[in-house]
A = this chain, B = another copy of it.
Amino acid sequence: MISLCDVGPRDGFQYEEKLIPTDLKRDVIEGLVAAGLRCIQVTSFVHPKWVPQMADAEALVARLPHHEGVVYTGLALNLRGVERAIAAGLTQVELSIATNETHSRDNANMTVAEGVAQAEAMIALALAHGLQVQLGFQTVFGYAAPGDTPLEKIEAMAARFADGGLESFSLADTTGMANPVMIKERVRALQAVVGDVPVVLHLHDTRGLGLANVVAGLECGITRFDTSLGGLGGCPFIPNATGNIPTEDTAYLLDQMGFETGIDINKVAEVTRKMATFLGRDFTGKLYRLV
């Protein structure tokens, strides 16, 4: 069994300029649940000044019906975000920290060490309130160039959190710099560091290598991937960049390779087509056009 977590309602929607009504977001999330998704990243608790599309985070979470076995996660980037996730009643929060000094400075205006210290405080707060915590490492496979974040640095960071009560680690290819060789090298190295904590791969298809990287991840024993309906999403650092690996295409790949996902690809594609109609453009996923 391979589990996909659809992060489209957060990682995809956040780049859209056209305001997506809260009810449409809820319908998308409900559609994904009906399609068999058991993990959905529904929003991020960031300041609406930075991401206006996420201003309805609390309102959206309040409208999501409970489904047995379905986890809704939200992204938090600081203590205030964790507080909001707790208050909103989420059971799982995702934190995401920089691993590359240049990226950390460019994106978060702090050093990596400052981000680590902040994450420790955020984890403590979330755990104290009974939330499960996924800790994401950004640009694990490169920021400005493939592999430009030293693996040793990421290993040291992972070691610091390995016994910290995390539900999972997420290794993010934020800028789509990974390739199958690097996936195998870095994923195996980090799995060795974190031991029993599950490792999730969060891959972007910026350069078209997303599904090839999934296969490399499978060969490392990865059983959880972040995906996005239709491949919705982008990258704030790269104009015209395509987004996350598409949920439908990833589910199809896995299905064809003999892995169970529990996902009804046709039903995901229906949701994707609804969003493509609303946003008025095609996405980069392939399957949603065909099924």
CA distance A213 to B246 in the complex (A): 17
A 243-258 binary contact with B (CB < 8 Å = 1; else 0): 0001001001100111
Assembled-state Cα–Cα distance A212/B208 (Å): 10
Max count, chain B CB within 10 A of own CB: residue among A211, A241, A249 = A211
> How far apart are A31's CB and chain B's nearest CB, in angstroms?
21
The residue among A179, A205, A209, A252 with the most chain B CB atoms within 10 A of its own CB is: A209
Identical subunits present:
2
Q: Which residues of B contact A205 (CB under 8 A)?
A: 286
Within 8 Å by CB of A208, from B146, B179, B180, B249, lies B249
Indicate if A277 sits at the interface (CB-CB under 8 A). no
Q: Which chain B residue shows the least CB distance to A180?
A: B215
Closest partner residue, chain B, to A178 (CB atom) = B256
Contacting residues of chain A (202-242) with chain B, CB-CB under 8 angstroms: 205-209, 211-212, 214-216, 238, 240-242
A120 to B288, CA, bound (A): 41
Excluding A179-B257, A207-B253, 5 further A-B contacts by CB distance (< 8 Å) are A146-B256, A208-B211, A208-B253, A212-B212, A242-B286
A residues lining the B interface (CB < 8 Å): 146, 179-182, 205-209, 211-212, 214-216, 238, 240-242, 246, 249, 252-253, 256-258, 284-287, 289-290
